Amino acid sequence: MIVDCAVYRHGHRTEGPEDLSDALAEARAAGGFVWIGLYEPSEREFDLVTQEFVLHPLAVEDALNAHQRPKLEVYDDSLFMVLKPVLYDADHDTVSSGEIMVFIGDSFVVTVRHREHSPLAAVRHRLEEEPEMLDKGPTAVLYAISDAVVDHYLEVATELQNDLEELEAEVFRPEGGGSRHTASRIYGFKRQILEFRRATGPLVLPLTRLAGSGPFGGTIPFVHDKARPFFRDVGDHLLRVNESVEALDRLVSDVLAAHLAQMSVRQNDDMRKISAWAAMAAVPTMIAGIYGMNFDHMPELHWLWSYPAVILLMAALEVLLYQLFKRRGWL
């Protein structure tokens, strides 16, 4: 459905006509542009927008179906960009992503969002308070959306770093190793990093193209050349995010390896303790088993001090074994 539609002249908002064709004609006549915002539109709802703005059918299909990687596509009559904003749920320590599709062309911007969390409303409000920037046209809208999405990536990366520090403290606490659920928490954290990486990694190439650098850099239609430094700045922020994601991924792998190593050491310690106690129990069992055999002709059976001598022998051997295992750290 259409959640917002306005015509912007010289950076100031005016409510556009209900008819999209009239709104576009009015924007072009005034040297401005029309900005239409849609939320999870159906194919029928999007047909009117497609016809009025001559959007490419492949881009329209991507916008309707969602589940796209971040990308930038150039068509004859429009530019199509996909971004994936992310949301960090502090209560459940999870990262989820939405999608924003942006069409820009001659005097129009069409934004399509999927899922609830999106910076589009805040971006529109901020731009409307900065008419000088909004006067730059659709390029300013594309830059502002990209900048807002990437800036939020930095915030999410910081939250993930804090979560990783908590995991490290749990794994390396004095009693060591964490609980039996620590491994599943670490693996779940790694899944969140993977979800985050799916949003940030593929966005590098589109921003590189918009910045006019790299092998695919060049003139991008419907984007002012003067905007390249601004997109380059967004690209620099994105590189910082990707570096943080790579560092988080390596660290969480190291934490998982350390946790598994500590669990292995703890199991070895437990096995040594069990073996030590079993050895201590085996000595009196062996002696008692020998003297429990029902033979008539066995030495020492009729000695007066046989019983206390055997008890003392077992006690002495138990003390000796205990001191030996204690000295070696088995107990």
- What 8-state DSSP symbol labels residue 329? T
Residue 179: its pLDDT value, please? 62
Distance CA 173, CA 188 (A): 20
Q: Are 20 and 4 in contact (CB under 8 A)?
A: no
Q: Rounded distance, CA 265 to CA 292, Å?
A: 40
Cα gap 189→177, rounded to integer Å: 17
What pLDDT does 205 receive? Answer: 92
pLDDT of residue 322: 78
Strands 33-39, 108-114: pairing kind: parallel
**Model pLDDT, residue 146:** 95
**Which residues in the chain come in under a pLDDT of 50?**
none
The pLDDT of residue 81: 94
Specify the pLDDT at position 252. 87
Side-chain-facing half-sphere of 133: CA atoms under 13 Å: 16
**Residue 101, strand partner residues:** 82, 112
Helices (H), 172-305: 182-200, 204-210, 228-291
Q: What type of residue is 201? A: G
Rg from Cα positions in the chain: 35
- Determine the Cα–Cα distance for residues 163 and 94; give it in Å rounded to an integer: 10
Cross-strand pairs, 103 = 80, 110
pLDDT of residue 83: 94
- C-alpha dihedral sign at 174, 176, 181, 184: positive
pLDDT given for residue 68 in this prediction: 87
* Residue among 298, 300, 323 at smallest CA distance from 310: 300
| pLDDT for the residue 266 | 72
Output the 3-class SS for 27-54: HHHCCCEEEEEEECCCHHHHHHHHHHHC
